[in-house]
Chain A
Amino acid sequence: MADPMRIRANMTGDKVEVKVLMAHEMETGLRRDAGGNAIPAHFIRNVSVTYGGKTVLSAQWGTSVSRNPFLHFRFNGGKPGEKVMITWLDNKGEKRTDEAVIAGGG
């Protein structure tokens, strides 16, 4: 099973600042192993972030997003103590959903 994401969601002013790290190979499909065999592509294709049941970001990715992907964005209207939920889905159908509580900012 896929590993949990590391999510940081913090209020900065009236915005929620979200930083997330995902554990994923992001294998391009273009590399070969030591035996010369192609290593099959394995990568996250979809990411969606929801808050209060509403999508605040959705992304489609190709194979050139770096291994163990990092994503940083901001949205308005979030409140400390509420949850941000993030889901990724890869090309092999593996899926992972994690959530984080929004921390109050200074």
Chain B
Amino acid sequence: MRIDRVLAGVLAATLPCLSPAQQDTQKEIERYRQMLQESNPAELYEARGEELWKTRRGPRNASLERCDLGLGPGVVKGAYVRLPRYFADTGRVQDLESRLATCMVTLQGFTPEEARRKPFSGTGAPMITTDPFSGVGQRSVMTDLVAWIASESRGMTIAPSVSHPKERLAYQAGERLFYYRAGPYDFGCVTCHGEEGKRIRLQNLPKMTNAKDAQRAFGTWPGYRVSEGELRSMQWRMWECVRQMRFPELEFASDASIALITYLAKQAEGGTFDAPAIKR
């Protein structure tokens, strides 16, 4: 096997730009990612989420079946790809997660604090077990619901709403935030997502101003992350990027998080939604 690899290396060396080792690495990483596609544990979360949607919970002992995700009360099919959007009843632009928190309050009678208490499921990564919202092995009703609702938009076209002035404001604010550099590392979203074809370690980075990249990125979240053994939502994706940017903690369902998601959704407009995906 060694000898084969050396030989392959010699052959590949005649190709320009990438060293043989780099080409082999990229090829094998792609193969690894392909092999993961065979089965996605996100299904387990989707199944729980579908049950939870119908489950009576909270002080009012009510289900979420009348929750309006933007397409009318109880309409789940296709809801994810039309979010974030402006909701007249709250006067806010909301993404799926902040909207679900609203429904947990208005329909099920939870307090806003209760509805947002544990947005992310317990993590398999020891590095971030300090997440106060969860612990190892803990589940998040929010995450399970997100998995199922997102899966109900699979195969559809990403088409966020941008007709309301507040939606436009969220988009523009999100764009500014994308370029906002701060903190001890001088990072901003743009540091990692402003150029095409770059990687951190071996992880490919989407350039968010490039429609194809943005479509692929937005279209594959939420995702089951094998590195953590958890399903992760778009709110978590923002929270985690911001943590690694060395910023203070981005609050769950905050206006900044929704503005960023609005910006990304708009960048990804026209792409095909294919989530929950499975990722490193």
Q: Is the CB of B129 within 8 A of A33?
A: yes
Residues of A within 8 A of B130 (CB): 34
A55 nearest CB across to chain B (Å): 23
Residues of A within 8 A of B226 (CB): 66
B119 nearest CB across to chain A (Å): 18
The A/B interface has a contact count, at CB < 8 Å, of 45
Contact A19-B39, Cβ < 8 Å, known A3-B44, A6-B47, A34-B129: yes
Q: Chain B, interface size: which category?
A: 10 to 19
Within 8 A of B (CB), among A17-51: 19, 21, 23, 25-27, 31-34, 39, 42
User: Residue A68 at the B interface, CB < 8 A?
Assistant: yes
User: Residue B58 at the A interface, CB < 8 A?
Assistant: no
A33–B127 CA distance with the chains assembled, in angstroms: 9
A31–B47 CA distance with the chains assembled, in angstroms: 28
Residues of A within 8 A of B126 (CB): 31-33
Within 8 A of A (CB), among B126-142: 126, 129-130, 135-137
Mark A residues whose CB is within 8 Å of B. 3-4, 6, 19, 21, 23, 25-27, 31-34, 39, 42, 66-68, 70, 72
Mark B residues whose CB is within 8 Å of A. 38-39, 41, 43-44, 47-48, 124, 126, 129-130, 135-137, 226, 229
* 26 residue pairs from A and B, CB less than 8 Å apart: A3-B44, A3-B48, A4-B47, A6-B47, A21-B39, A21-B41, A21-B43, A21-B44, A23-B41, A23-B44, A25-B136, A25-B137, A27-B136, A27-B137, A31-B136, A33-B126, A33-B135, A33-B136, A34-B129, A66-B226, A66-B229, A67-B229, A68-B41, A68-B44, A68-B229, A72-B38
